[in-house]
Amino acid sequence: MANQTLVQFRVDSELKKEVTEIYQALGMDLPTAFRMFMIRTKIEHGLPFSAVLPENKVTLSEGASAFEELHQQAADVPDMTQDDINALISEVRQNRRA
Which string of DSSP letters, residue by residue, matches 77-91? SPP--HHHHHHHHHH
pLDDT of 1: 66
Which residues of the chain fall short of a pLDDT of 70?
Answer: 1
| pLDDT > 70 in the chain, percent | 99
Q: What is the pLDDT of residue 30?
A: 94
pLDDT at 20: 95
CA-to-CA distance for 80 and 89, rounded, in angstroms? Answer: 12
* 37-59: pLDDT as tens digits: 999 999 999 999 988 877 777 88
Structural domain spans, the chain: 13-44
